[in-house]
Amino acid sequence: MAQLCHRLYPGDLAKATGLTASSITVYVNTLIESGYAERIPETDRIRVSVQAARKALQVMQSIDAEERRVTEIRSRLLTTA
């Protein structure tokens, strides 16, 4: 499964997801246009972009911050009850 994250041909993605190759092409092109994936010119394969990795890190940090906030609120509620 880890190999699905980088350097696959669109046909590989279609097989792995059960989608048609044309659907994968549309999705991949959208990801490329949005900056979340990039095509490797030498091989024509697709990989996740640095921008996507940064965005994933931001989301994880936001989740962690909210988790800390919820824990703090729970703690306050339990100590006042």
The tens digit of pLDDT for each residue in 43-80 reads 877 888 989 989 999 999 999 999 999 999 999 999 87
pLDDT value at residue 34: 93
Topology (CATH) of 1-48: Arc Repressor Mutant, subunit A (1.10.10)
Between the alpha carbon of residue 56 and those of residues 8, 51, 53, 61, the distances in Å are 20, 9, 5, 9
In this predicted structure, the answer to whether residue 6 has a pLDDT above a threshold of 80 is no
The pTM of the whole model exceeds 0.95 = no
Between the alpha carbon of residue 76 and those of residues 39, 63, 67, 69, 73, the distances in Å are 50, 20, 14, 11, 5
- C-alpha span between 67 and 81 (Å, rounded): 21
pLDDT value at residue 7: 64
- Tokens representing 19 are 């989608």
- Tokens representing 13 are 């993605």
